[in-house]
Amino acid sequence: MTQTCLVTGGAGFIGCAISDALTAAFDTVVAVDNLHPQIHKTGARPAALNERVELIVADVTEPGTWDEVLAKHRPDTVIHLAAETGTGQSLTEATRHAQVNVVGTTRMLDALAARGIVPQRIVLSSSRAVYGEGEWLDAQGKGHYPGQRSAQMLEQGQWDFPGLRSQPFRCAHTKPAPTSVYGATKLAQEHILSAWCLAFGTGLNILRLQNVYGPGQSLTNPYTGIVSLFARMAKAGKSIPLYEDGHMLRDFVFIDDVAAAIVAAATSDKSGILADIGTGDSLSIAQLASVIGDIYQAPPPHVTGQFRNGDVRHAACDVSATRDTLGWTPQVDAATGARRLCEWIDQRPEQLERL
């Protein structure tokens, strides 16, 4: 029996990274992507997208898109990547984020239901942004959810929550509490898909991704990709500016590891998976800047004290449960991945000249 996989946002960074493996696993792979100019400057089909993938250039928020797609294909598996990203951007462009992330999801589901198409499985690429600040422990080991840092806190340079220590996110334990519009829309995606899949009998696997980076990511999108931003600045011989005090923690997970996790979730016999996808380790922004600065022998990074509303102080995850539920283990540490990204950037001087 032939199997069809539909990938929304399938011409993006992650969509291209999974395309080779998907064409090996499925008879037909269809990517739906609007080739947004924030990511795709020229509007051309990405060279990294496997040639066997059928690309339909269309907007997931438009009903006509689904008329076109579902008239030709009945997907057995759907990988839902299409999303507007960017924590800070979402606070000033909330409608656009809600339109793509929430309405785009419901348009797809309504179209499937209207045609009686019930996929065997849907895989959602969710985000660590659903957790917000997550859980913090006090000196007695009691858990607290301090919520979003206020504008007053940030303006006064109060970066942490006094007397509390941040904890790695664990999907089975940490309560979602988004601090950005983007995070709220990703959590809404999870809830919408959970309700629909339960009602229609479709298996659902949700992966909450940490900070994804690596070769293939956009070098022109100003709202994503702090690793590539740091690399471009260091390559130009500049000192990397550090927001807040430079001690914010992040879990930087390499694109190859993320691709492997998504393909595993799409091809696994298991359904009902909710998993954190990261390295299980964290680096401070200052540590990341030093690693990248050393690669290019750039001046030392410097602290600016600037901040971005909606940003969380620390974000890291525990992947021990993911190893068991998904049979997946990250392979690339942040230092190795940063070097690989820098090597890739070094091979593209023409793109840097346009920045």
**What is residue 90's predicted lDDT score, i.e. its pLDDT?**
72
Here the tokens at position 131 are 């957790």
Strand partners, 143: 137
Q: In this structure, which amino acid lies at residue 78?
A: V
**What is residue 300's predicted lDDT score, i.e. its pLDDT?**
95
**What is residue 352's predicted lDDT score, i.e. its pLDDT?**
54
Q: What's the predicted TM-score (pTM) here?
A: 0.95
Dump pLDDT digits (tens) for 7-30. 999 999 999 999 999 999 999 999
Here the tokens at position 313 are 């102080």
Alpha helices by DSSP H, listed for 201-308, are 226-235, 255-267, 285-296
Q: Is 131 a catalytic residue?
A: no
pLDDT, greater one: 76 or 94: 76
CA 331 to chain centre: 18
Here the tokens at position 39 are 């990511």
**What is residue 105's predicted lDDT score, i.e. its pLDDT?**
98
**What is residue 36's predicted lDDT score, i.e. its pLDDT?**
78
Segment 89-107 mean pLDDT: 89
The percentage of the chain sitting over the pLDDT mark of 70, rounded to a whole number, equals: 95
* DSSP string for 58-96: --TTSHHHHHHHHHH---SEEEE------HHHHHHSHHH
Dump pLDDT digits (tens) for 53-62. 999 999 999 9
Q: Scanning the structure block, which residue is given the tokens 């999974």?
A: 18
pLDDT-derived band of residue 212, with 50, 70 and 90 as boundaries?
very high
Q: Which of 48-57, 79-88, 226-235 has the lowest mean pLDDT?
A: 79-88
Element (H, E) at 185: helix 181-200
Segment 133-142 mean pLDDT: 97
Segment 200-211 mean pLDDT: 98
Q: Scanning the structure block, which residue is given the tokens 């607290």?
A: 144
**What is residue 14's predicted lDDT score, i.e. its pLDDT?**
97
pLDDT at 335 over 70: yes
Segment 276-303 mean pLDDT: 96
Give the integer Cα–Cα distance in Å for 69 and 295. Answer: 45
What's the domain count of the chain? 1
pLDDT, greater one: 26 or 219: 26
CATH number of the domain bearing residue 298: 3.40.50.720
Element (H, E) at 350: helix 349-353
pLDDT-derived band of residue 355, with 50, 70 and 90 as boundaries?
very low
pLDDT at 350 over 70: no
**What is residue 41's predicted lDDT score, i.e. its pLDDT?**
72
pLDDT-derived band of residue 250, with 50, 70 and 90 as boundaries?
very high
pLDDT-derived band of residue 177, with 50, 70 and 90 as boundaries?
very high
Domain range for 198: 4-353
pLDDT-derived band of residue 222, with 50, 70 and 90 as boundaries?
low
**What is residue 104's predicted lDDT score, i.e. its pLDDT?**
97
pLDDT-derived band of residue 354, with 50, 70 and 90 as boundaries?
very low
pLDDT at 223 over 70: no
* Annotated catalytic residue within 131, 145, 182, 213: 182
Q: Which of 153-157, 223-227, 253-257 has the lowest mean pLDDT?
A: 223-227
Q: Hey, is 342 helix, strand or coil?
A: helix
pLDDT at 93 over 50: yes
How many Cβ atoms sit within 10 Å of the Cβ of residue 353?
7
How many Cβ atoms sit within 10 Å of the Cβ of residue 254?
24
**What is residue 304's predicted lDDT score, i.e. its pLDDT?**
94
110-119: long-range contacts, CB 8 A cutoff, minimum separation 24: 110/66, 111/63, 111/66, 111/67, 111/69, 111/70, 112/66, 112/70, 113/196, 113/200, 115/70, 117/70, 117/74, 117/75, 118/200, 118/201, 118/202, 119/6, 119/75, 119/76, 119/77, 119/78, 119/202
First to last CA, the chain: 48
**What is residue 290's predicted lDDT score, i.e. its pLDDT?**
96
pLDDT, greater one: 221 or 215: 215
Segment 254-275 mean pLDDT: 97
**What is residue 85's predicted lDDT score, i.e. its pLDDT?**
83
